[in-house]
A and B are shown apart, each in its own frame.
Chain A
Amino acid sequence: MWPFARGRSAHDRGWGALASAYVDRELAGAEADAFAEHLRACGRCAALVAEYRSLDADLRRRLVSAPAVAARPIFERAERLGPRPVPVAAPRRLALASAAVLLVGGAATPPVRAGVGGAVQFVRSVVAPSEGVSYAGDRAIFHAGSDDILASVVREYTLYTAPDTAAAPAAVGSAPFHDGPIFALAGGRVLFNAAQGAGPAQWTTVRRDGSDPRPFFPTSGTGHIPDPGGLSAVSTTPDGSRVLFRRGGAGGRFLTTAGATLVTDADGSPIWSDPGGADVYSLSPDGRFALSGQTGGLRLIPLDGSAAPPSPISDCDVQRPQISADGTRLIFVATRVGPDCPATSALYFFRLTGAVGSPYLEPVPLQDGAAYSLSPDGQYVAVQSWLNEPAAGQQGSGTTALKLWNLSSGERQEIPGFRDVRVLQLSWSADGSRLLIRDEREGRKEAWAGDPRGRLGQVLAGTAIAAAAFYPDGAGMVVASDGGAPAGIVALGPAATQDNATGLLANADGLAPAFAAHGDAVALLRRGAPSTLLARHGHAPAGIGDDLSGFSWAPDGRRAAVVVDGRIYLWTAHNGRAAAPLLSGRAVAWSPRDDQLLVTRGDGSIVITDVRGQLVAAAPAGMTAAAWSPDGRLVAGVAHAGGGETLVIWEPSSGAIRQLASAVRIGAPVWSPDGRSIAYAAIAGAASGNDLPGLNVVAAAGGEPRQLAALAAIDDAPVWSADSHGLYYLQRSVAGAPGAVRLVNADGNGDRRVGTLFATALFAGPR
């Protein structure tokens, strides 16, 4: 029952404000004395005060009932934004001298995108079935043994040189392409990140005919520096004479210093470097300036060491700036930071001649991270925006489109054929006559080149394109392509028979297999697209459904819990039907005991329900990354407290919680098949002098954790071998890049590489 009296009177209005402040203990002095005296005599005010207090209590209860919100998504989004600039106060005389450009902008998007992906040999999953598993696909039937089996999605990329849209490319380069972009340099060489066997990838150059591979950073010689590792090449000048490298936080983790910048010439000789404060995104076409976008505005940093600006431009963020060859036209992304900055992301164009102080044209709204590129002559911008652009300050939605923005007229003309595709790269030829577009649609990486105002042709049609660049002299382009070879799931034999590869399913790029624990079925899942079930013995593949965001087999492999549009359904394999939704949630794991589901709710809380969706137990608040023990009696998870994270084991039947290990950050726990140990990635933290993630193992019964190996990323979950004696993990130089699959004994000994394939993630399979 609500206790509030109905109706208001002049008395209430007159004394109500004082009663309200009295409840908040905000009356003082004579006012407080007067109201206290009145209150003693006035029953109505006493009731009013009581009502306000009751109302406050209800409000407070409602606020407190709001579910806990996880810190991790905040840090992850912050990481994706890239490092923030550290304000460096410029001497006053320099700041005044640098006031050549005055801009009003806003906050922005990540200044540097991740590499474009692609690998020599590309592995997406590792499975370890314990019994015969067969797959029905177009190409292959696979019988696994009783030992560990690695199944992988494989695609190989090599370098090709070609006219823009050649149908018959010529392969070049003996060094295998690893990942990231390609650049054509002055002097006729090509720069790319080359795989080095088991070692970290290395920036390498070759001639256009593929001969004479050399490390880009020589190991000796006057003025040269060794490859510092972890560098991403971000851009070059149009003539290929200068290269801009960035180094992000190691492994993309937070709590690290990051953002170092290096500019070299075409021979790898360093010209300019910055340890992390500049946040440089691009170079001016003449190579004289580095363009730094950051909170506080744009800066043009002279690379010759002269004492000209840094130039603070505005109170808003300016990100991803690009400038025309003649230095008169500038574009950048800005979004809101302060009240005077734009409320939504938009691409702004400024002319840098004459009086500068406001955008020259209406800005183009765009999504965070959307691709854009200013032509070297400054006449056009290729930009991915919305087909129907929202009004100024409004959020965009709906279909995206690639557009050509004429900076003279302000008109924006759609480039046909790129609606709702993911544009990965936009690059102009040095003379501004042709545009290179690399995109991903329906899981395929493609490239197109030509006159954006006229005809575009597909580059190496029918192949997957991992990277591409125009030659600066207009002689064509260099492309990292798979040459049309199909991607597919293959199986490697156990560690004892490395490289015993068997083809499983062709054209499986982008699919993630989910194996039934003791069954004979595998679901091939592609998020946001129809997913497929494959059953053994040649059964025709069956569709599971659209837009699956979660999937977990029942132990018998006959049913599965699936997540569609934030709701959890039980799906039956033999008829492909799903019952009415059980409850809302964003992730689900079926208990190994078959009778319960571990559900992550929309608010991040974790509960256990029975298979009818009825609540059985609620996990402690703040627990994340929960995983069933193999016997289904316990749940391991990560708890957040006191500025760090703790690996915990929760016993749902009793509610008991045990702490196993603590660190600054802890990745998802992985139970050993025998249930005796838990593996996890963790960052020990600055206090221990170690801010790199490591692969750790701790006994489920408790004890001292052991670090077995170094990892590139906290999200690199290991996979146990079937006998619980070893752990597979990825060894890679940069988070997200393909890496070598390695196997280490659970006691830390016997660390060795498994096979020659590279992997991007490991997934557990049937046991």
Chain B
Amino acid sequence: MAVIMARVAARAALDERFTRLVLDHQRRIHRFICGMVGAEQLAEDLTQDVFLSAYRALGRLPDDANESAWLFTIARNRALQELRRRKILRWLPLARPNDDEDDIHPHADQPLADSVAERDRLRRAMDAVPAKDLACLLLSVDGHSYSEVAQITGLSLPAVRARIFRARDRLRALLGEDEAKGEA
């Protein structure tokens, strides 16, 4: 009977742990995936996938594990897998009237056209950065230390530093080129 009760209690604890994981991390995971793949709806689907994978594997995660790093590891792998599978690195959303956010969520402080154009430039540049480099940079921007990024990605600290720099440098160059074309 003690074993049975222990199992029941363990099941309840697992469910509660998963609930907390979702509520604590879903926003950041979704933001990260959104940054990786660009498409919001796709990111939402992938976010759900990430937590379902976590749900499946949660029973094997030690109690004292770094849950955040673990989730971001799943999220990074899922995003990279999706990018490989769908080959959407070069994909760009078209800004259409009456489409998604553009029609009703303009930035308050600048004209809609400028806001959309700026967003597209950045997205286009992000799509041109190698996905693994971009993942490191986005994790860093989201507040992870290099050691956490290393834990999430399985890279060494020097490799993390190099990839973050490469992503920044690439973005800087691409946006600079874009600006040059605009002024030409």
Partner of B138, one of A1, A8, A59, A87: A59
Q: Is B72 an interface residue (CB 8 A)?
A: no
- Give every chain A residue within 8 A of B11 (Cβ-Cβ): 83, 86, 257-259, 276-277
Interface residue tally of chain B, by bracket?
35 or more
Min CB–CB distance B149 → chain A (angstroms): 10
What 1/0 mask marks residues of chain B from 94 to 138 whose CB sits below 8 Å from any chain A CB? 000011110111000000000000110111001000000000011
User: What would 25 A/B residue contacts be, using CB atoms closer than 8 Å?
Assistant: A2-B178, A2-B179, A5-B172, A6-B176, A17-B162, A52-B168, A59-B126, A66-B31, A66-B34, A66-B35, A68-B30, A69-B27, A71-B26, A74-B26, A81-B56, A86-B14, A254-B15, A315-B60, A343-B81, A581-B98, A602-B41, A603-B41, A603-B101, A618-B104, A643-B23
Closest A residue, CB atoms, query B49 = A77
- Given A77-B48, A256-B15, A87-B59 contact (CB < 8 Å): yes
- Given A24-B146, A66-B34, A71-B40 contact (CB < 8 Å): no
Q: Is A255 an interface residue (CB 8 A)?
A: yes
Closest A residue, CB atoms, query B77 = A339
Most chain A CB inside 10 Å of its own CB: which residue of B15, B35, B141: B15
- Which residues of chain A from 6 to 34 have a CB within 8 Å of any chain B CB? 6-8, 12-13, 16-17, 20-21, 24, 26
What 1/0 mask marks residues of chain A from 258 to 284 whose CB sits below 8 Å from any chain B CB? 110000000000000001110000000
Partner of A66, one of B30, B55, B161, B171: B30
Min CB–CB distance B100 → chain A (angstroms): 6
Question: Across chains A and B, which 9 residue pairs bring their CB atoms closest together, nearest first?
Answer: A66-B34, A20-B165, A615-B104, A6-B176, A277-B7, A69-B30, A86-B10, A17-B165, A63-B31
Q: Is A404 an interface residue (CB 8 A)?
A: no
Q: Is A62 an interface residue (CB 8 A)?
A: yes
- Give every chain A residue within 8 A of B173 (Cβ-Cβ): 8
- Give B residues with C-beta under 8 Å from A: 4-5, 7-8, 10-12, 14-16, 18-20, 22-23, 26-27, 30-32, 34-35, 40-41, 43-44, 47-48, 51-53, 55-60, 77, 81, 85, 98-101, 103-105, 118-119, 121-123, 126, 137-138, 140-142, 145-146, 161-162, 164-165, 168-169, 171-173, 175-180
Interface residue tally of chain A, by bracket?
35 or more
Q: Is A107 an interface residue (CB 8 A)?
A: yes
Q: Is the CB of B8 within 8 A of A257?
A: yes
Closest B residue, CB atoms, query A641 = B23
Min CB–CB distance B130 → chain A (angstroms): 15
Min CB–CB distance B87 → chain A (angstroms): 12
Q: Is the CB of A107 within 8 A of B22?
A: no
Closest B residue, CB atoms, query A317 = B56
Partner of A21, one of B10, B23, B101, B165: B165
What 1/0 mask marks residues of chain A from 330 to 346 whose CB sits below 8 Å from any chain B CB? 00000011110001000
Q: Is the CB of B27 within 8 A of A68?
A: yes
Q: Is the CB of A20 within 8 A of B31?
A: no
Tell me, in angstroms, the Cα distance from A584 to B101 when the chains sit together: 9
Tell me, in angstroms, the Cα distance from A4 to B171 when the chains sit together: 10
Q: Is the CB of B34 within 8 A of A63?
A: yes
- Give every chain A residue within 8 A of B121 (Cβ-Cβ): 2
Tell me, in angstroms, the Cα distance from A664 to B168 when the chains sit together: 43
Q: Is the CB of A337 within 8 A of B53?
A: yes
Min CB–CB distance A107 → chain B (angstroms): 5
- Give every chain B residue within 8 A of A77 (Cβ-Cβ): 48, 52
Q: Is A582 an interface residue (CB 8 A)?
A: yes
Partner of A62, one of B15, B103, B119, B175: B119
Q: Is the CB of B179 within 8 A of A26?
A: no
- Given A55-B168, A62-B122, A603-B40, A254-B59 contact (CB < 8 Å): no
User: Interface SS of chain A: helix, strand, loop or mixed?
Assistant: loop
Tell me, in angstroms, the Cα distance from A20 to B165 when the chains sit together: 6
Min CB–CB distance B43 → chain A (angstroms): 7
Tell me, in angstroms, the Cα distance from A59 to B165 when the chains sit together: 15
- Which residues of chain A from 304 to 351 have a CB within 8 Å of any chain B CB? 315, 317, 336-339, 343
Min CB–CB distance B75 → chain A (angstroms): 12
Tell me, in angstroms, the Cα distance from A64 to B118 when the chains sit together: 16
Q: Is the CB of A52 within 8 A of B172?
A: yes
Tell me, in angstroms, the Cα distance from A387 to B101 when the chains sit together: 38
- Give every chain A residue within 8 A of B142 (Cβ-Cβ): 60, 63
Q: Is the CB of A81 within 8 A of B55?
A: yes
Tell me, in angstroms, the Cα distance from A602 to B100 when the chains sit together: 7
Closest A residue, CB atoms, query B47 = A69
- Give every chain B residue within 8 A of A277 (Cβ-Cβ): 7, 10-11
Closest B residue, CB atoms, query A253 = B15
- Give every chain B residue within 8 A of A530 (Cβ-Cβ): none
- Given A4-B176, A8-B169, A59-B138, A69-B44 contact (CB < 8 Å): yes
- Give every chain B residue within 8 A of A86 (Cβ-Cβ): 7, 10-11, 14, 59
Closest B residue, CB atoms, query A26 = B146
Q: Is the CB of B53 within 8 A of A275?
A: no
Q: Is A433 an interface residue (CB 8 A)?
A: no
- Given A17-B165, A584-B100, A59-B145 contact (CB < 8 Å): no
User: Interface SS of chain B: helix, strand, loop or mixed?
Assistant: helix
Min CB–CB distance B58 → chain A (angstroms): 7
Q: Is the CB of B16 within 8 A of A63?
A: no
- Give every chain B residue within 8 A of A52 (Cβ-Cβ): 168, 172
What 1/0 mask marks residues of chain A from 91 to 112 whose CB sits below 8 Å from any chain B CB? 0000000000000000110000
Q: Is the CB of A583 within 8 A of B44?
A: no
- Give every chain B residue within 8 A of A556 (Cβ-Cβ): none
Q: Is A51 an interface residue (CB 8 A)?
A: yes
- Give every chain B residue within 8 A of A607 (Cβ-Cβ): 104
Q: Is the CB of B141 within 8 A of A60?
A: yes
Min CB–CB distance B42 → chain A (angstroms): 11
- Give every chain A residue within 8 A of B141 (Cβ-Cβ): 56, 59-60, 63
Tell me, in angstroms, the Cα distance from A58 to B179 when the chains sit together: 15
- Give every chain B residue within 8 A of A618 (Cβ-Cβ): 104-105
Min CB–CB distance B143 → chain A (angstroms): 9
- Given A67-B40, A603-B40, A615-B104, A295-B165 contact (CB < 8 Å): no
Min CB–CB distance B88 → chain A (angstroms): 14
Q: Is the CB of A254 within 8 A of B172?
A: no
- Give every chain B residue within 8 A of A60 (Cβ-Cβ): 141-142
Most chain B CB inside 10 Å of its own CB: which residue of A1, A68, A73, A275: A275
Q: Is the CB of B177 within 8 A of A12?
A: no
Q: Is A78 an interface residue (CB 8 A)?
A: yes
What 1/0 mask marks residues of chain A from 592 to 610 whose CB sits below 8 Å from any chain B CB? 0000000001111001010
Q: Is the CB of B57 within 8 A of A603?
A: no
Given contacts A56-B141, A78-B55, A583-B103, 5 further A-B contacts (CB under 8 A): A6-B179, A26-B161, A63-B141, A78-B52, A81-B56
Closest B residue, CB atoms, query A1 = B179
- Give every chain A residue within 8 A of B60 (Cβ-Cβ): 87, 295-296, 315
Q: Is the CB of B161 within 8 A of A2?
A: no
- Give every chain A residue within 8 A of B7 (Cβ-Cβ): 86, 88, 275-277
- Give every chain A residue within 8 A of B58 (Cβ-Cβ): 84
Q: Is the CB of A62 within 8 A of B35?
A: yes
- Give every chain A residue within 8 A of B16 (Cβ-Cβ): 255
Tell me, in angstroms, the Cα distance from A613 to B99 when the chains sit together: 11
Tell me, in angstroms, the Cα distance from A1 to B117 when the chains sit together: 11
Partner of A336, one of B53, B165, B169: B53
Tell me, in angstroms, the Cα distance from A108 to B53 when the chains sit together: 10
- Given A16-B169, A74-B26, A81-B59 contact (CB < 8 Å): no
- Give every chain B residue within 8 A of A395 (Cβ-Cβ): 85
Tell me, in angstroms, the Cα distance from A194 to B101 when the chains sit together: 51
Partner of A613, one of B19, B22, B98, B146: B98
Min CB–CB distance B124 → chain A (angstroms): 12
Tell me, in angstroms, the Cα distance from A613 to B103 when the chains sit together: 9
Q: Is the CB of A603 within 8 A of B44?
A: yes
Min CB–CB distance A44 → chain B (angstroms): 13
Q: Is the CB of B32 within 8 A of A4?
A: no
Tell me, in angstroms, the Cα distance from A7 to B119 when the chains sit together: 22
Q: Is A388 an interface residue (CB 8 A)?
A: no
- Given A16-B169, A275-B7, A69-B26 contact (CB < 8 Å): yes
Q: Is A196 an interface residue (CB 8 A)?
A: no
